[in-house]
Structure 1
Amino acid sequence: MNDVKKTFDTINKIVADWDPLGVGETIAEDEYAGYIPEIIQVMKNDQSLFEYLSQILANELGSGFDSTDMKHVEGLKSICDKIIRAYMEI
């Protein structure tokens, strides 16, 4: 498996396991796959993954993400940390 595919698959698995919309395991990997290239690009450009994902959650997915709710913020920070760690290990 090449690094690009491995990176895509690894990050997609993390996002699918997180499943912020609750679409379920069988749909999640396809549901969020369109966001993975941009997530990778954000990290390559040293942009804020947290800002990017919070914008996606609030404006595109309509997930009910509330940046003033510490539970939401901490949950998203945890996902960002998982994605960044996985990205660095590839």
Structure 2
Amino acid sequence: MQTQVGTTVVRFTAVVVGRVQRVGFRDYVRTRARRLGLVGSATNLPDGAVEVIAEGDESACRDLARLLVTGHTPGWTDRVQLVWRSAQGDLADFRRK
């Protein structure tokens, strides 16, 4: 984990399974992530899931992860697989792919 001016910067990858495609899920996640000051992406996967990669302040990342896990998003969430990693610093903005 990187530290920048007193904050811990982290990255997580979440695979969100459920009714998360064609319901505005990626746009919603992108909007929330940007408001939290995070960078990353939300990408549709061929199996109907969405992969979310987010990096930034640890507290903000935890807020976004909590949102994904609790299912307070468009559509519905059956399962979320979360993997936490050290920040890599290779992302810019938050994109919907």
Q: Going by fraction, where is helix more abundant, 1 or 2?
A: 1
Please identify which structure carries the higher strand content: 2
Q: Judge same fold: TM > 0.5, yes or no.
A: no
TM-score, normalising length from structure 1?
0.37
